[in-house]
Amino acid sequence: MPFKKRIRVTVNGVRHERSVEPRLLLSDFLRHGLNLTGTHVGCEHGICGACTVLVDGRSVRACLTLAVQADNAGIRTIEGHGNAQSMSALQKTFKRCHGLQCGFCTPGFLATIEDMLNKYPLESEGRIRELLSGNLCRCTGYQNIVDAVLMARDERAQAEPVNRQVEKE
């Protein structure tokens, strides 16, 4: 029997306790262990960003993370952002701006952008494009994704004009 380690994780608010092989990737754990197949794997070597999820609020590549590293962490996957009837603000701007085509890269983009929106003021389109450059999309040419980020940023600024963390550089 291969060696297994017991881990506890909270995913989208639900607690799970599982025994996993130390080599099991977090992406495989989420997809095949917990059946949360919205997290996608596009390259399994850390370049495309399709597998990005939020671990304790930070965007993390699930294909470069071992499930055991997520022990005791709180994880948010795409399934935790909102459902078709009650989408998150960002999901809505993606829909309005046609920010997705095949949708394979989309869960990763949403996680990255949520993190960006929380951390940075995103003052310019150039800055947004730079921050998006760790996520690849082969379908959209990025323009509508950028527009969706701009719209989400402006909506947020209207909703909470003062309460915003300032970028430290």
Partner 1 sequence: MASGLKHVGARIERREDGRLLTGGGRFVDDLRIAGTLEVAFRRSDHAHARILDIDVSAARSCSGVVAVYTADDIEGDVRPIIAQSRMRNYHPTALQILAKEKVRFAGEAIAAVVAESRYLAEDAAARIEIEYEPLESLVDPLRSMAGDAPRLHENTPSNVVVERTFARGEVEQAFHNPPVAVRERFRFRRKAPAALENRTYLADYRGAEGFLTLYTSTQVPGIIRDALVDCLDIPGNRLRVVAPDVGGGFGGKTSLYIEEVLVSVLSRKLERPVKWTSDRLEDLTATSHGFDEIVDAQLALDDEGNFLGLRADVIGDVGAYSLFPFTAGIEPVQVASFLPGPYKIDTYQGRVRCVATSKTALGPYRGVGRPVSTFVMERLVDMAAKRLGLDPKALRLQNLVQPEDFPYKVASGIVWDRSGFTEGLASACDAIGYDALRSQQEQARREGRLIGIGMATYAELTGIGSRLSASPGMPFNTGTETAHICLDSTGGITAKFGVTSFGQGLETVLSQVVADELGVAIDDVTIVQGDTAAVAHSTGSYASRGAVMGTGAAMLACAALKERLLRVAGLMLNAPAEDVTFAQAAFSAPHSGREISLGELARTYYSRQGAIATDVKNELGELSASRMYDPEWGTTSSGTHIALVEVDPETCRVKVLKYLLAGDCGQLINPRIVEGQNHGGVAQGIGAALLEEVVFDEQGQNLTASFMDYVLPSAVEVPRMEQVHLDLKKPNTLGGVRGMGEGGTIGAPAAIANAVADALAPHGCEVTELPITPERIFRLLEGARHQN
Judged by CB under 6 A, does residue 51 bind ligand FES?
Answer: yes
DSSP string of 47-79, one letter each residue: SS-TTEEEETTEEEEGGGSBGGGGTT-EEE-GG
Q: How many residues bind ligand FES (CB under 6 A)?
A: 22
Tell me the per-residue interface mask from 136 to 155 with ligand FES, x by CB under 6 A, - otherwise. Answer: -xxxx---------------
Q: How far is CA 113 from CA 52, 66, 89, in A?
A: 10, 23, 12
Q: Which does 26 bind (CB under 5 to 8 A by kind): partner 1, ligand FES, none?
A: none
Q: Report long-range pairs for 124-129 (Cβ below 8 Å, ≥24 apart).
A: 125/150, 128/153
Q: Which of 75, 72, 71 is nearest to 61 (CA)?
A: 75
If the CB atoms of residues 153 and 161 are measured against partner 1, the closer one turns out to be: 153
Q: Which of 160, 115, 158, 154 is nearest to 134 (CA)?
A: 115
Q: Which does 78 bind (CB under 5 to 8 A by kind): partner 1, ligand FES, none?
A: partner 1
If the CB atoms of residues 31 and 153 are measured against ligand FES, the closer one turns out to be: 31
Q: Please tell me whether residue 103 adopts helix, strand or coil conformation.
A: coil
Q: Which of 28, 34, 60, 61 binds ligand FES (CB under 6 A)?
A: 61
Q: Which of 5, 10, 38, 44 binds ligand FES (CB under 6 A)?
A: 44
Q: Residues interacting with ligand FES, by CB under 6 A?
A: 41-44, 46-51, 61, 63, 100-105, 137-140
